[in-house]
């Protein structure tokens, strides 16, 4: 099992990318602003931490 803790910036960036992909190709969808936290540029500076653990299933 893998769990990730992501920064708020990482979450907002990927959420906005997902919304943009879902609205792609629709003539009636409102434009989606892709979140970024880079001043005078595009992109995001963010990070995440991964924790991995095993689960033993006994029958």
Per the model's pLDDT, the better-predicted residue between 15 and 1 turns out to be 15
Interval 24-48: pLDDT, tens: 877 788 888 888 888 888 778 888 7
Share of the chain above pLDDT 90, in %: 15
For the chain, which residues make up each domain, given as ranges? 2-52
Tokens of 17: 């990318």
């Amino acid at each position: 099992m893998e769990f990730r803790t992501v920064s708020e910036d990482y979450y907002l960036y990927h959420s906005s990318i997902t919304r943009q992909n879902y609205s792609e190709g629709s003539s009636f969808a409102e434009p989606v602003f892709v979140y970024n936290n880079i001043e005078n540029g595009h992109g995001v500076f963010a990070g995440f931490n991964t924790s991995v653990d095993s689960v033993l299933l006994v029958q």
